[in-house]
Chains A and B, each alone.
Chain A
């Protein structure tokens, strides 16, 4: 009660001093604010306007590059994706020996078409599917091997054993000469076989022609037919297995 501010003001219903004190405290922070100034009209410096013009010029240069405005049918700007430099040639894959290039193709076809029965190691299962590893029909004459792949096989195999009554279905559907050359080359040089030669796409093409002219076209071949008609190599020029070729086109390429 010693504080004079706490004494009631008997003349009025509120304590004027206290109220005034409270208001004063509340506005203390606001009171030290400056008034927001009037708007200035300082002139704009010429060098600053010059900078703005430069910005406008840069934007104009980019816009000039945008082709025809609102041309919705022009989708690509020529040269935005840079073409390889002329003579650079580094975008081509490095050349590999022909046997490797063909085997790479054959390996893919093997895993798609042959893996299921003959197994990843090509050794069959000994009961239903014969081994391709060391088989004389695989490593022997190329025309015989090509006929088996293109037309399938029933009856006895190279060892004389009959694996199943249905035999092997034809695999030639959808194959290109390159594919056939690939699978033939791959199996003759991989999975335990190492003949060392290649079957070129031209030879494979000849195999397809021969297959189309068979007397029993469309049916599986068998041991008798193979022995009578196809016990020979495919016609065509033999190629050196180590010729360097482009892996995509299989055309001869110079070494780097």
Chain B
């Protein structure tokens, strides 16, 4: 970040505070509604998980059949939680890094409401049976133009802020956030226009759809999460990013490789057969940016061990980076020649998506929320215990869901390859994994309901009035910053009280 624009630490702090204040309403709106959608999505995920092993569950309600609950689960996860958490982070990060106050908070807030309402209508549409049947694009066709327009209204201001930023160095996070902001409309518009306005051959449509899923994950959620992690870890630890070269390798390899991935879902389909294998090779290569960024940032954080233990932001962000490294491993093992046939029609694809969306992206977003919210509300988190529980239940629960889905999916694939045995045998192979998954979802659901309530209390400005950061220390006495004080008694002079 450029430091030459401000002369004194005081002026610098005042500028940051004014940026935070200008963004308070839109960012809190995005974070709170995202957390609410996350709870809804996990509830739907729980129902669909139960239906895998107990098909009779809730069978009385036609709108809760598996074919409707599962798409609503995925779509609320992506457009309800993921996109809105990303929007909140993008607009805040871009303002801070470009040192510009937000001048369109009202418009962003309005667009955010429209986005939420569209996601609600889309979800009801899916549950009512009007889903399109295209994975990740199941909202009825009316939704996508509205989502696209509201996206533009939300994010275009961040582009403007980047354009008018003070001259100087462009920080790594800015590359990623800027790239994600440009890639999202490209991916979203391309796939939706081709599939909704120019319906061609159905096999090709399936190909476009598979590319969209992969591109949305690799070209929107992954860069936003990476950009946020590149901001949070150096910021909280006070150390520079370990290797600038590695950061550049990570960025450019992602930008060059990721658009080629996705078609591996269609191996064996009547497409030109180099396409699926090209997609598989590109997905394997996506392990390079994943490993480079995860290694770079984990090494940066590892040199401040104690801070990592105490800071909620760092804990979640590091959890996410471990998720990113695992995501890289999954990129490789699911796309080898030997595993490709096993991973196509099984739970493992779902495990891979969840690993990217929740294991990496969402964990970093939680870290970002724990960092950003005290700054824009000027209140501290109420309960360190709730944060700890949120971390424990989320990380353990998710690890179980992902491992079970990946491994159980491969086992299912092995069963499917035994094409002489009947289908029931294959389904039974997934049965124990499905039960395990249901229990993990219950844990994740609980943790996120607490998270949502905690966040709502912060939005209502009921947080602690303290200038001391919330640290995950045992007991209430051990704060390294002395006894907790009222926020009015602390000031910029306490800058040494590092987060």
Contacts and interface: CB of A to CB of B under 8 A. Distances in A.
Contacts of A62: 277, 280-281, 284, 335-337, 340
A29 B270 CA distance: 58
Nearest to B290: A55
Given A35-B3, A55-B332, A62-B336, A26 B17 contact: yes
Interface majority SS on B: helix, strand, loop or mixed? Answer: helix
A186 to B, nearest CB: 29
B244 A41 contact: yes
Nearest to B234: A37
Interface stretch (A68-76, A128-136, A201-209, A233-241): A68-76
Given A58-B284, A59-B284, A39 B241 contact: yes
Contacts of B3: 35
Interface in B326-370: 328, 332, 335-337, 340-341
Contacts of A35: 1, 3, 238
Interface in A126-159: none
B282 A39 contact: no
B375 to A, nearest CB: 5
Contact of B467 (A32, A43, A69): A32
B9 to A, nearest CB: 8
A34 B291 contact: no
Q: Which residue, of A35, A90, A91, has the highest number of chain B Cβ atoms within 10 A?
A: A35
Interface string A81-125: 110000010110000000000000000000000000000000000
Contacts of B276: 66
Nearest to A91: B420
Given A32-B495, A55-B288, A71 B240 contact: no
A41 B244 CA distance: 6
B274 A32 contact: no
A21 interface: yes
A38 interface: yes
Contacts of A75: 270-273
Given A62-B284, A74-B273, A82-B419, A30 B375 contact: yes
Interface string B446-470: 0000000000000000000001010
Contact of B231 (A28, A36, A71): A36
A74 B284 contact: no
A65 B337 contact: yes
Given A66-B278, A75-B273, A28 B241 contact: no
Interface in B458-484: 467, 469
Contact of A25 (B10, B487, B497): B487
A27 interface: yes
A166 B433 CA distance: 67
Contacts of B469: 32
21 contacts: A27-B16, A28-B378, A28-B467, A30-B17, A31-B9, A31-B491, A32-B498, A36-B231, A37-B234, A39-B247, A40-B242, A44-B245, A59-B281, A59-B284, A62-B281, A62-B335, A66-B277, A75-B270, A76-B273, A77-B268, A88-B420
Interface of A: 21, 23-44, 48, 51-52, 55-56, 58-63, 65-77, 80-82, 88, 90-91
List of 4 A-B pairs having minimum Cβ-Cβ separation, nearest first? A66-B277, A37-B240, A34-B238, A39-B244
Interface of B: 1, 3, 9-10, 13-14, 16-18, 20-21, 171-172, 231, 234-247, 267-268, 270-274, 276-278, 280-282, 284-285, 287-288, 291-292, 295, 299-300, 328, 332, 335-337, 340-341, 374-375, 378, 417, 419-420, 467, 469, 487-488, 490-499
Given A48-B291, A91-B420, 19 more contacts: A25-B378, A26-B17, A26-B18, A27-B492, A32-B496, A32-B499, A34-B238, A34-B498, A37-B238, A37-B241, A40-B244, A41-B243, A43-B243, A52-B288, A55-B291, A65-B337, A70-B274, A74-B272, A81-B268
